[in-house]
Amino acid sequence: MPEIIRDSAIQKTATADGISELRRQEVLLKTGALQNAILNSANFSIIATDEKGIIQLFNIGAERMLGYQATEVVNKISPSDIHDPQEVEARARALSAELTTTIMPGFEALAYKASRGIDDSYDLTYICKDGSRFPATVSITVLRDDYDDIIGYLLIGADNSVRKQVEAELTNAKAAAEKANLAKSDFLSSMSHELRSPLNAILGFAQLMETGAPHPTPTQKASIDQILQAGWYLLELINQILDLALIESGKLSLSQEPMSLLEVMLECQAMIEPQAQKSSIHISFPQIEILYFVHADRTRVKQVILNLLSNAIKYNRPNGTVEVTCSVNQLGRVRVSVQDTGQGLPPEKLAQLFQPFNRLGQEASAEEGTGIGLVVSKRLVELMGGEIGVESTVGMGCVFWFELNLAAEPQIAPGSDVPLALLQALVQPGAALRTVLYVEDNRANMQLVEQLITRRPDLRLLGAGDGTRGIALARTHQPNVIVMDINLPGISGIQALKILRQDPATAHIPVLALSANAMPHDIKKGLEAGFFRYLTKPIKVNEFMKTLDQALEFAETGLDNESQLIT
């Protein structure tokens, strides 16, 4: 019995060993099949070299791609011989100073990385036997023996022609789209300007008819009101299209500086309340005790707030309300929210907001609209580094909000050579009183200049909040010097300067630019437009007063003793 048991155990062991051997052979056969399939694949090239960079293996894929037979290259050439020589040379130069060992010729940068255990993948140009070329993506890996010595390099390549062609087509398509978009923006901008001339005549003569003598009859008055209403609406549409075109073409100029949010909101309140009363909408503004300053373009912030308020009134319910709130979050941003009591918007319509010319089904309503205002508002807020959004509940209204970055209250810049207390002492007794006109829509900046001018008993200051009023004051009061902001509501400072230069009554007055647009191209553009000097904010007292004195001297003598640029 023991012998039988022993023989049985031996038989089982032999059987197990036989099964293991069969499995091992199956694995070897499978592995060999995989290796053959890889080496014989025609879809990618496999090139292996020795430690000196001479080709030792050249698979079927490499033969198909490059047109060489393996016998033509094995033990004869390096992979660098079938690559673009300029690419090889550039690659060698890139790391020649770092390399200290001799490695695969032409692939110093790649082999150097591989020698440190780093695989690399890169794009290059393969040169075929017939001289043709094609782009390829190649990965290189270092091959090591059991002693960790380098015995060669493995390069696996794939034809990149299709991807390169697709990339080229995408690049061309993108360039064509950008060109078409720019052409569209240029066309809209040109047409918007062209439409202003006839519209100016329509609105001008309609207003003359409205106020002329004899007074129009009730029927005529009603007709004139319709002309004026349509004309002002058309002007609003033109302005919005022009803004959108300027934004999309990248030509919109912003003047971002610390500005008082409260002042702008008070101005918006005064401007929007007549519209609210006409629609029987009650509108409330926050009682802000803290003077929040934000870093933004004052004119554009006002434009955004008025647009949100106008929409909240137009799409409200009868006798509804609009509530404006203001808060500061932990990220150092001020959020202005405009909440209405309208019908609200479902999620699918919220997703369509901020799309040009999309009025979300309101096209047939009695309310006028363009579908552009929210798009312009969104892009303006984003250009000023802020964010805009909306929350809505169907049947309960919408809350539109935007956030802008907090800023410190504007201050006179440090580095003044002349103390403020000495400015008055520098004035000669009995000096003639001279007038300075400052055209600026930012009240904080106006107050700063007022403080400087009050220290000079020989000067008096006139102020204007926009370019049109500034031109009118210049014609009436003939100031000695004009200080002009660039980004102003209505017409820009550059446009105002052009008008002043064309008028014989004001052409002689030196005009200083004082702007937050401080880029070199902004300064160059301003000086080319004809400004006497171009100063940048924040104000540096000594530079401002020195430049102001130069302008005053030029106004009196016609001599410019110092023409250097002060920024």
Q: Are 501 and 523 in contact (CB under 8 A)?
A: no
**Is pLDDT above 50 for 539?**
yes
| Cα(71)–Cα(236) distance, integer angstroms | 78
* Interval 380-385 mean pLDDT: 92
30 within a domain of the structure (yes/no): no
Give the domain-ending residue among 385, 407, 429. 407
20 or 226, which is more confident? 226
**Is pLDDT above 50 for 246?**
yes
Predicted pLDDT at 75: 93
Indicate which CATH number applies to the domain containing 208. 1.10.287
413 within a domain of the structure (yes/no): no
Q: Are 311 and 400 in contact (CB under 8 A)?
A: yes
**Is pLDDT above 90 for 242?**
no
Q: Are 317 and 343 in contact (CB under 8 A)?
A: yes
* Interval 391-420 mean pLDDT: 76
Predicted pLDDT at 74: 93
Q: Are 188 and 244 in contact (CB under 8 A)?
A: yes
DSSP 413: B
pTM for the model stands at: 0.51
Q: At what angle do helices 520-529 and 493-502 cross, to 10 degrees?
A: 20
Q: Tell me, yes or no, whether 307 and 216 share the same domain.
A: no
321 or 165, which is more confident? 321
Q: Tell me, yes or no, whether 530 and 549 share the same domain.
A: yes
Predicted pLDDT at 101: 44
Indicate which CATH number applies to the domain containing 101. 3.30.450.20
Domain with 481, as residue range(s), is 420-557
* Interval 368-391 mean pLDDT: 85
Which range (333-342, 449-458, 525-534) has the least confidence? 449-458
Q: Residue 209: in which H helix or E strand, if any? A: helix 161-211
| Cα(283)–Cα(272) distance, integer angstroms | 9
Pair of tokens at residue 168: 């080229």
* Interval 429-443 mean pLDDT: 81
Q: Residue 392: in which H helix or E strand, if any? A: strand 387-393
Q: Tell me, yes or no, whether 468 and 506 share the same domain.
A: yes
Predicted pLDDT at 102: 42
* Interval 409-437 mean pLDDT: 58
CB burial of 303-327 (b: ≥16 within 10 Å; e: otherwise) equals bbbbbbbbbbbbbbeeebbbbbebe
Predicted pLDDT at 482: 96
**Is pLDDT above 60 for 364?**
no
Q: Tell me, yes or no, whether 261 and 372 share the same domain.
A: yes
Per-residue pLDDT band for 358 (boundaries 50, 70, 90) equals low
**Widest CA span of the chain, in angstroms?**
141
**Is pLDDT above 70 for 25?**
no
* Interval 157-180 mean pLDDT: 82
361 or 481, which is more confident? 481
Predicted pLDDT at 7: 57
13 within a domain of the structure (yes/no): no
Q: Tell me, yes or no, whether 219 and 312 share the same domain.
A: no
Torsion region of 221: left, alpha or beta (phi above 0 gives left; psi -120 to 50 gives alpha):
alpha
**Is pLDDT above 80 for 346?**
yes
563 within a domain of the structure (yes/no): no
Coil/strand/helix, residue 79: helix
Give the domain-ending residue among 407, 442, 465. 407
35 within a domain of the structure (yes/no): no
95 within a domain of the structure (yes/no): yes
| Cα(469)–Cα(199) distance, integer angstroms | 21
Predicted pLDDT at 110: 47
Indicate which CATH number applies to the domain containing 323. 3.30.565.10
Q: Are 505 and 540 in contact (CB under 8 A)?
A: no
Per-residue pLDDT band for 19 (boundaries 50, 70, 90) equals low
The β-bridge partners of 323 are: 284, 339
Q: Are 355 and 370 in contact (CB under 8 A)?
A: no
Predicted pLDDT at 167: 83
Give the domain-ending residue among 113, 129, 159. 159
Predicted pLDDT at 335: 93
| Cα(99)–Cα(530) distance, integer angstroms | 58
171 within a domain of the structure (yes/no): no
**Is pLDDT above 80 for 153?**
yes
Count other C-beta atoms under 10 Å from residue 89's C-beta.
12
The domain total for the chain is: 4
168 within a domain of the structure (yes/no): no
Q: Are 443 and 263 in contact (CB under 8 A)?
A: yes
Predicted pLDDT at 371: 67
Q: For 26-49, how does the pLDDT look when each residue is reduced to its tens digit (9 = 90+)?
A: 666 666 667 777 777 778 899 999
Mean predicted lDDT score pLDDT of the chain? 79
Instruction: Give the burial class of 216: count Cβ atoms within 10 A of its Cβ; 0-12 exposed, 13-18 middle, 19 or more buried.
Output: middle
Per-residue pLDDT band for 197 (boundaries 50, 70, 90) equals low
Q: Tell me, yes or no, whether 354 and 433 share the same domain.
A: no
Q: Tell me, yes or no, whether 399 and 522 share the same domain.
A: no
Torsion region of 530: left, alpha or beta (phi above 0 gives left; psi -120 to 50 gives alpha):
left
Q: Tell me, yes or no, whether 427 and 542 share the same domain.
A: yes
| Cα(93)–Cα(536) distance, integer angstroms | 46
Pair of tokens at residue 396: 């309960």
299 or 358, which is more confident? 299
Q: Tell me, yes or no, whether 274 and 140 share the same domain.
A: no
Pair of tokens at residue 49: 């070299």
* Interval 136-148 mean pLDDT: 87
Q: How far apart are the first and last CA of the chain?
A: 112
Q: Tell me, yes or no, whether 369 and 443 share the same domain.
A: no
Predicted pLDDT at 113: 45
pLDDT > 70 fraction of the chain, expressed in percent and rounded: 78
**Is pLDDT above 90 for 425?**
no
Indicate which CATH number applies to the domain containing 516. 3.40.50.2300
Task: Count the alpha carbons within 13 Å of 57 in the hemisphere toward its beta carbon.
Answer: 17
Distances 171 to 136, 168, 175, 249, 414 between C-alpha atoms, Å:
19, 5, 6, 19, 48
Q: Tell me, yes or no, whether 433 and 535 share the same domain.
A: yes
Q: Of the candidates 289, 300, 288, which has an alpha carbon nearest to the alpha carbon of residue 259? A: 300
Pair of tokens at residue 262: 């409260």
Per-residue pLDDT band for 312 (boundaries 50, 70, 90) equals very high
Q: Are 457 and 484 in contact (CB under 8 A)?
A: no
Predicted pLDDT at 196: 66
Q: Tell me, yes or no, whether 267 and 397 share the same domain.
A: yes
**Is pLDDT above 50 for 66?**
yes
Q: For 464-522, how does the pLDDT look when each residue is reduced to its tens digit (9 = 90+)?
A: 988 999 999 999 999 999 999 988 888 889 999 999 999 999 999 999 999 877 777 78
Predicted pLDDT at 357: 57
* Interval 253-269 mean pLDDT: 84
Per-residue pLDDT band for 423 (boundaries 50, 70, 90) equals very low
